[in-house]
Structure formats: C-alpha cells, structure tokens
Amino acid sequence: MSKSAPKPSHDYSEFMQRAYAMELEASERYAQFAEQMDGHNNREVAELFRKLSGIEALHAKRILEEMRWPSLPALPPAYAWEGPEGPETAPFESVHYLMQPYHALEIALACELQAQKYFESIAAGRVPEKVRITAREMAQEEREHVMLIRAWLENVPQPAAGWDEDPDPPRANE
Amino acid sequence: MNAPAVPVALAAKDFKSDYKPVWCPGCGDYSVLSAITKALASLQLRPENVAVVSGIGCSSRIPAYTTCYGFHGVHGRSLPAATGLKAARPELTVLVASGDGDGYSIGGNHFLHACRRNVDLTYIVMDNHVYGMTKGQPSPTTEPDWSSKLAPGGTGLREFHPLVIALASGANFIARGFSGDPGGCAALIAEAVRHPGFSFIEILSPCVTFRPEQRGWKQAVRPSPVEPTDDPARAARRLMTDDGFNIGVLFQGKRPPFSGMAVTATHTVADLEKGFLL
C-alpha cells in the first residue's frame, strides 16, 4: 500500500508517465469488469465496460503517440498514488453480477471526477509551466467526460429498488 | 546459422491464460491474480520456469488462470505437492495458492511443517475469513461472533492467527497484503519470491458474496508502521499488538532454505529387490 501521497511531478516526462499509467490501469480494470460480467451473462453491462475500457485505452495511446517513448515507460521508483490505486481506476469490489448500466456509469463518473481532481491538483501545484498547461488540458478533458457521463446517466433507467435481489443466487462457482 | 534468440521482456498479460476467471464479480481474488502476474513480469521470469500449485477452493483456481505450469491438487495438500515439486525440480520458481479454509484448516498441519522445513516456496493465502466456494461456512480465521445462517450466533471459537503460527513454525519471510492494493501485493509477492526459503504472504481478499461487510477492509488496512525485522523475537512482539490490518513485510529471516540432504547409498538396488522376494 502506498505510504505517501504522490510527489509533485516536476518533470514533464514523469508527469506523462503517471498519466499514461493512470489511463492504462483504468482501461485494464474496465476490461476485467467486462470479463466478469460476461461470466455472469450480463451482456449489456459487459459491453458498456468494454466501451469504457476502449475510451481509456485511447487516452493511453494518445499519450504514447505524443511522447514517442522508445519503449513502454516504467513507473518511477518513488511512484505512489494517494490511494492504493490510480485515481481513475475503479475499485475491484465495486461491481455486482446483477448490476445495471446505470451502476456502471456511476462507477465511471466517480473515476472521472477523481481523475479531474488529480490533474487539477497538479496544475495548482508548484510545477513547470509545461506540466501545468498539460495538466490543465487533461483536467479539462476529464471535466468533459464528467459532463458526458452525466448526460449519459440521464438517458439510462435508474435501477428499481431490489435490483440485486435474486431468488436463485448463483453463489456456487461451478 | 540462426542468430541467437533475443529474450523478449514479458508483461503481466503474458502470464494470464485465456481462461476467464469465474469468481463472483468484486471478489478480491481477481486482484490477487493480477498481482501475481505483475510480480512475475517484474521478476522477468518465464512462464515455463514457474509452477503454481493449489488445493481446493475459490482461490485455488488460480493455476488455471496463469500461463505457468499448474497443479490443482487435493484439498489442503497444495504444500506437500509443491514441496515435492521443488525438491525434484529446484530450478523452478514454485508459487502455492490457497485460502483460509484450504490452508489453515484442511491443510493446517502441512502449513506448520512447510514453515519448519523452509523449502524455497512462496505461499500465498487469500484470506476472506469464510469458506466461499461451499456457501459460507465459518473458517479458522472467522471471527467468533460472526453470525450467519450456517453458524447462528457465531462459532464462539477463537480465530487462528496465521502470522503468529508462521513465525512460531519457522517461516523465513512473513508478510500481509490487501487485495484492494494490487500494486502493493505485486511488490510483496516479488519480494517473497526473491527471498530464499519458505515465504508466506497472507492476502486479505474480501468475499463480497458471503462477507459483504469486508468491503470495509479498505478503510481498515494501513501500511505497517514499522520496518521488517530479521529478529523473530521482535517480530513476535509486534504480532502481540497486531489487529490483523497492518500491511507489509513483518519478518525476513536468514535461515538457509532446505536444499535436500546428501544421500549416501547403503544398499544396492539389487539388495533392496531381494527384500521384496517371496
């Protein structure tokens, strides 16, 4: 578990490495959730998580293209997030096999808000101008995602009470 | 003449098989699987040089989800199988996966003796304080007052303290992780693999189905306030005040691992065969 909050990224390349790791972790987690939902035949939510994974992967790819690293970057040795995982990574335990698209979007909204806050905090810190400008741009991008997901949520039915009740729960793994 | 093959650096995904895990969504074991693959990638091992041995239970499904050699063995008997494997193939890196029921109850006795023997194994126990696969019976680490349909009012039995047992029995590396921190778990696993001898890692891995309240572990866990020690007495004193939620390495011993005994033949095979003749 991370012992300390992230250190301010004074170096542009290190800042971008963190941003890349953040997007990649988020993408991988959504892909894992999609697999989990597939396993429980919750196809609609699986598809939604796959879409979210694709969006995050695209962000990671854009960073790679911009940075033109000769090989995939390793995280700096002193690397640490404020929590146990990156700010945009959905917690493992946040899914349920009967969850609905609304729940998946709520998870995504929380992640985007955390990502926005993360970039805003970097932009507000004592960092080189190039880092500040990029962090502001990224925060703005995350803000747009927040708005997009909020709009998306309005078009998705809210789960009725008792959505997680299952008269024949598949509690055995076989 | 062909040029020698250049070894390609492997990533975590290279240690994941095509089999999709069937754990309940939200299960901590997904994170442990992710941590194992990250650790193996960080150590730059190759799947064909690693074996993952398990017993029975949700956590024991892990070998199938990796591209390493795997052995999904008998309930509670992952450690004897792994010990035999390591003795016969010492060049392999052997990981052993278990849960609190498989590892501390059915396989409890093997746990003691694996610690004592100090064979170079890495034993990862995913502890969720319940038998998940068989629908929620209390396990050795279940709190005495945990009330459920299968144990109304709780068992009233004092819970097992795996780290205390491991230390008392001679484990050479003892740590605790939390599945909600897959990066931290990966680092612990890598460190355990590198440490010679029997390395034991208890990973708190919530069962969201039968113990949904364990989602609260996220708030309960904390990095251990002290550095690892190589002094068993000091480690024991620390465990006296351990509430089960300190995360990190507790103990890194210096005992040399068991490396087999030099065997001098006292009988020929022919002599032995004579003993079986009627």
Q: How far is A4 from chain B (nearest CA, A)?
A: 10
Cβ–Cβ below 8 Å for A37 and B25? yes
Task: Kindly tell me if the per-residue pLDDT of B150 is higher than 90.
Answer: no
Chain A residue with minimum CA distance to B30:
A92
Domain ranges of chain A: 12-73+93-154
Closest CA relative to residue B67, chosen from B89, B40, B85 = B40
Within an 8 Å CB–CB cutoff, is residue A3 touching chain B?
yes
Burial per residue of B3-38, b for 16 or more beta-carbon CB atoms within 10 angstroms, e otherwise: eeeeeeebebeebbeeeebbbbbbbbbbbbbbbbbb
Of B30, B221, B222, which has the smallest distance from its Cβ to A32's Cβ?
Answer: B30
The answer to whether domain A12-73+93-154 has CATH 3.40.50.1000 is no
Q: Are B175 and B200 in contact (CB under 8 A)?
A: yes
Within an 8 Å CB–CB cutoff, is residue A92 touching chain B?
yes
Domain ranges of chain B: 12-275
* C-alpha pair distances (Å), B3 with each of B6, B82, B84: 9, 37, 38
Q: Are B115 and B198 in contact (CB under 8 A)?
A: yes
* C-alpha pair distances (Å), B241 with each of B140, B224, B236, B237, B249: 20, 12, 9, 7, 16
Q: How far is A76 from chain B (nearest CA, A)?
A: 14
| A44 or B265, higher pLDDT | A44
Tell me the pLDDT tens digit for each residue of B87-145. Answer: 999 999 999 999 999 999 999 999 999 999 999 999 999 999 999 988 899 999 999 99
Tell me the pLDDT tens digit for each residue of B234-271. Answer: 999 999 999 999 999 999 999 999 987 777 777 888 88
The amino acid sitting at B142 is: T
Q: Which pTM does this prediction carry?
A: 0.87
Task: Kindly tell me if the per-residue pLDDT of B223 is higher than 50.
Answer: yes
Pick the residue of B24, B128, B134, B218 with the most A CBs within 10 A to test the interface with A by mutation. B24
Q: Can you count the helices (H) and strands (E) in chain A?
A: 4, 0
Element (H, E) at B249: strand B246-252
What does the alpha-carbon distance between residue B208 and residue B132 come to, in Å, rounded to a whole number?
10
Tally C-beta pairs within 8 A across A and B. Answer: 80
Within an 8 Å CB–CB cutoff, is residue A91 touching chain B?
yes
Compute how many other C-beta atoms are within 10 angstroms of the C-beta atom of residue B227: 9
What does the alpha-carbon distance between residue B72 and residue B247 come to, in Å, rounded to a whole number?
28
For B12-275, CATH number out of 1.20.140.10, 3.30.70.1150, 3.40.640.10, 3.40.50.970 equals 3.40.50.970
Residue B249 bridge partners (DSSP) = B175
* C-alpha pair distances (Å), B128 with each of A59, B133, B138, B204, B272: 36, 11, 10, 6, 49
The amino acid sitting at A57 is: A
Task: Kindly tell me if the per-residue pLDDT of B209 is higher than 70.
Answer: yes
Q: What's the pLDDT at A172? A: 46
ipTM, two decimals, is: 0.78
